[in-house]
Amino acid sequence: MTHADKSATTKNESRTLIIIVAVIAAVLIAVMFYFLMRATGGGTVAPPTLAGAIRAGSQEFEQYHSKIMLDEPEATEARRPLGDIVMTLQTTVRNFSGKTLSGLEIRGTVVDPQNQPIKQRTVVVIPSPVPGGLAELAPNKTLEARVVLDGMTEADVRANIRMEITGFRFKN
């Protein structure tokens, strides 16, 4: 074998090694991006709940639920650079209960044509998680409530939206 043959063989082996390393690196990067896109914010985080809330099934919930009204919700949607769709559901809350609300929990849901949930999230609206936000809602007053739902795809058939009160608490 001549010196030129050895040199060509070494170049081919080096080129093959570089291609194999590049393919492995590309696969690892693709896997990493896949898991980053599918991440839901750091694992299984329990949805926020309103401590000491009056909930469905209690007599007090049935008595006051119809007096804390939600307007017909509206939705906007936007596509993020990661490729998923984010929907923001919003409504106006009206307190006709005659009591001051010191806590309010609302669930926003996007449903498919069979009325099955595609995405849903429960948020605590009062007290407001935003600094300087509302700490309570007086009788005959209103507030804007928003629920952000992310991680939807173009394949998800979004037929309707819902927002509902899942719990509330009155000021003592």
Q: How crowded is residue 145: how many other Cβ atoms within 10 Å of its Cβ?
A: 23
Alpha helix segments (H runs only) across the chain: 3-38, 59-65
Tens-digit pLDDT profile for the chain (172 aa)? Answer: 665 566 667 778 888 889 999 999 988 888 887 777 666 454 455 667 888 899 999 999 999 999 999 999 999 999 988 788 999 999 999 999 999 999 999 999 999 999 999 999 999 988 877 777 778 999 999 999 999 999 888 888 888 999 999 999 998 7
Q: Do 127 and 78 meet the contact criterion of CB atoms below 8 Å apart?
A: no
> What single DSSP character describes residue 127?
S
Question: Total structural domains in the chain?
Answer: 2
In terms of domains, do 40 and 78 share one?
no
Host domain of residue 150: 54-170
In terms of domains, do 122 and 68 share one?
yes
Give me the pLDDT at residue 74, please. 95
Indicate whether this model's pTM tops 0.85.
no
